[in-house]
Amino acid sequence: MNALIFHIQLLEPVLIASVDTGEENSAKSLLYLPGSVLRGLVVQRYLDSGKTITHTVEDPATHLFFDGAVTYLNAYPVDGKGRRMLPRPRSWRVAKDDWANEDIYDFAVKRDPELDSPTSPGSVYCTLDANEATLFSPTLRIGLHNASEERFIKREGDSTVFRYDALAAGERFTGAILCADTNLLENEIAPLFNTGDLQIGRSRSAGYGRVQVRDLDIVADWREYTPSSGQSNERLIVTLLSDAILRDATGQPTTDLGTALGLTLVREHSFIDTGVAGGFNRHWGLPLVQRPTVRAGSVFCVENTVEVRTEVERLVQTGIGERRVEGFGRVALNWQGQRKLRGRLPVPVTLSRPSSTEQTDKAPELMQQMVQRLFRTVLDRRLIENVADPALAIKQPKGDEQLVNSQLSRIRIAVRRAWRSGQRQVFTDFLKNLKPIARNQLTRAMIGTSTVYDWLENGWQNDKLWTDQFTIISGRPRLGTVEARESDALKLEYMARLIDGVCNVAQKRNQQEATQ
């Protein structure tokens, strides 16, 4: 099939909300740009050019948008080589303590009973190169907003705080529009993108949705994936490259792939996840009926016979289920075939690629940045656990000797000042210069078996807080020979944040007791 390939760069955060967000006042974006959104974008540009849509058989727009002659695939993230990534197969497993997903086992090929606590890799997308897999997940930008009945007036009772988890500005995606007629792609669809910045998604007037389409290219005989060379002769491995909306023989929605396709699945090697798909019809001004889906990345295996292979190869060409013109129901046959893969993180994506010399020079630095980010993720999780740990709660005496909130606030201000300035001595001097009343409060309040004063002084000066609360027994994250580092600045930051969090919890407890 011929394809119009293009890159989309997000100039602003983009919010294309999924239907299963769960919170009424919030929205979380899909981690890709749906084919339905891209088709809607092309339709809008078509109308803006002065043309009309009559929905008749003779109308050229029918051939462009509605009769299935043109297929608008989902736009997925672009990797460091400019290739369109694909949803990670749900049959992949890694060891639970494999921080970097260095060893990936494909249970659709063969289950590994010796794998320690197998779990799914955290990344959403991947590209395959022989026995290597590049993993990636798009970055989300969290935005808090305040809606009110009267604009610019925020007050209790009239205002509602809500949250948007949107695709972050700067993310890059690769889209594909398929059509057998190259002339249609080149002369009808491609010119519609040559109009400067475009907008997609929700909340466009609030700083969301501005994108730029670039690097358009028409590719003859384009293939969405490259089949694996390590294929099994016993069974066929079929992977969904997008969500699929299916119906059974009675016309009812179903998520049973075997029933919908008339195939017998090898259940032991099939890994299927389900979800919900919605949408919006701008012509009607109404949302579409939500349907259950089999989610992208689902893997199902079938016996390798001539009849079954012929049928699956047909499905690869046509897709399966409903709304295929919008990119639903894309299928891959034997895309994966390696029992074990070597996982790696992607290099930063640039549409104008740097020279190979620059990539080589920067590789150690980039790897160090990656392991440091992994390390921070672990430390942040440990920090949350420590702050909520009852063993680190401040136990207050009764009466006038209680540690008051004003004193807790002074501790928090001093420790944050030490953290921001990078000067450990700032907090040390604060403890030395405490007035007798404040010092007495700290020596009467307890954390575990130590007074709060001793816990602060000893823990701060000797890095005891770091050693006791943030040491990772299993070792720091590493990529190859590059290991995360424990710098003095990192220790200072997390000790300061721990003290700040413990004092914050104590302040809230004091406030609750005061209202009772």
Instruction: Provide mean pLDDT across the span 208-234.
Output: 85
What per-residue confidence (pLDDT) applies to 173? 95
Candidates 219, 138, 211; CA nearest to 177 is 219
* Calpha distance 415→405 (Å, rounded): 15
Share of the chain above pLDDT 90, in %: 29
Based on the number of CB atoms within 10 Å of its own CB, is 378 exposed (0-12), middle (13-18) or buried (19 or more)? middle
What per-residue confidence (pLDDT) applies to 362? 59
Instruction: Provide mean pLDDT across the span 402-407.
Output: 87
What per-residue confidence (pLDDT) applies to 231? 62
Instruction: Provide mean pLDDT across the span 159-185.
Output: 89
* Calpha distance 288→30 (Å, rounded): 17
Positive or negative: CA dihedral 31, 37, 42, 48: negative
Share the mean pLDDT of the chain.
Answer: 85
What per-residue confidence (pLDDT) applies to 232? 62
Which SS3 state, helix, strand or coil, does residue 411 take?
helix
Candidates 154, 141, 155, 283; CA nearest to 203 is 141
Q: In sequence order, what are the beta bridge partners of 217?
A: 5
3-state secondary structure 331-377: EEECCCCCCEEEEECCCCCCCCCCCHHHHHHHHHHHHHHHHHHHHHH
Sorting pLDDT into bands at 50, 70 and 90, what band is 347? low
- Beta strand residue intervals within 180-330, DSSP E: 198-199, 210-219, 235-240, 246-247, 253-254, 274-277, 280-281, 286-287, 291-294, 299-303
Q: Give the DSSP per-residue string, 111-148.
A: --TTSSSEE--S-SEEEEETTEEEEE---EEEEEEEEE
With a CB cutoff of 8 Å and minimum separation 6, the contacts of 8 are 33, 75, 172, 173, 174, 175, 211, 212, 213
Which SS3 state, helix, strand or coil, does residue 464 take?
helix
* Calpha distance 149→155 (Å, rounded): 10
pLDDT digits (tens, 9 = 90+) for 60-103: 888 888 888 899 999 999 988 888 999 999 999 888 777 666 78
Candidates 457, 444, 448; CA nearest to 415 is 457
pLDDT of residue 361 exceeding 60, the answer is: no
Sorting pLDDT into bands at 50, 70 and 90, what band is 357? very low
* Calpha distance 506→456 (Å, rounded): 15
With a CB cutoff of 8 Å and minimum separation 6, the contacts of 443 are 451, 452, 453, 454
Amino acid of residue 207: G
pLDDT digits (tens, 9 = 90+) for 317-336: 989 999 999 999 999 998 98
Share of the chain above pLDDT 70, in %: 90
What per-residue confidence (pLDDT) applies to 332? 93
What per-residue confidence (pLDDT) applies to 121? 86
Which of 46-50, 78-82, 146-150, 270-274 has maximum average pLDDT? 270-274
pLDDT digits (tens, 9 = 90+) for 139-165: 888 887 777 666 556 666 667 777 888
Take residue 494 and report the two structure tokens written for it.
């997390």
pLDDT digits (tens, 9 = 90+) for 23-33: 666 788 999 99
Backbone angles phi, psi at 35, to 5 degrees: -60, -30
Q: How many CB atoms lie within 10 A of CB 17?
A: 18
Contact 271, 108 (CB under 8 A): yes
| Greater pLDDT, 361 or 301 | 301
Q: Which fold has domain 2-85+158-225?
A: Alpha-Beta Plaits (3.30.70)
Sorting pLDDT into bands at 50, 70 and 90, what band is 293? very high
Task: Give the position of tokens 């297929």.
Answer: 71
Sorting pLDDT into bands at 50, 70 and 90, what band is 259? confident
What per-residue confidence (pLDDT) applies to 329? 92
Q: Do domains 2-85+158-225 and 235-337 have the same CATH topology?
A: no
Break the chain into its structural domains and give their ranges: 2-85+158-225, 235-337, 363-515
pLDDT of residue 38 exceeding 90, the answer is: yes
What per-residue confidence (pLDDT) applies to 496? 92
What letter does residue 321 receive in the DSSP assignment?
S
**Predicted structure pTM score:** 0.66
Take residue 58 and report the two structure tokens written for it.
């003779």
What per-residue confidence (pLDDT) applies to 400? 65
Least confident of 229-233, 240-244, 496-500: 229-233
What per-residue confidence (pLDDT) applies to 14? 92
pLDDT of residue 352 exceeding 50, the answer is: no
Sorting pLDDT into bands at 50, 70 and 90, what band is 365? confident
pLDDT digits (tens, 9 = 90+) for 383-397: 999 999 899 999 988
What per-residue confidence (pLDDT) applies to 63? 85
What per-residue confidence (pLDDT) applies to 354? 45
What per-residue confidence (pLDDT) applies to 155? 63
Q: Which fold has domain 235-337?
A: Immunoglobulin-like (2.60.40)
What per-residue confidence (pLDDT) applies to 367? 84
Contact 308, 213 (CB under 8 A): no
Take residue 224 and report the two structure tokens written for it.
């969405």
Sheet holding 299-303, edge to edge: 299-303, 235-240, 331-333
* Calpha distance 334→331 (Å, rounded): 10
| Greater pLDDT, 220 or 283 | 220
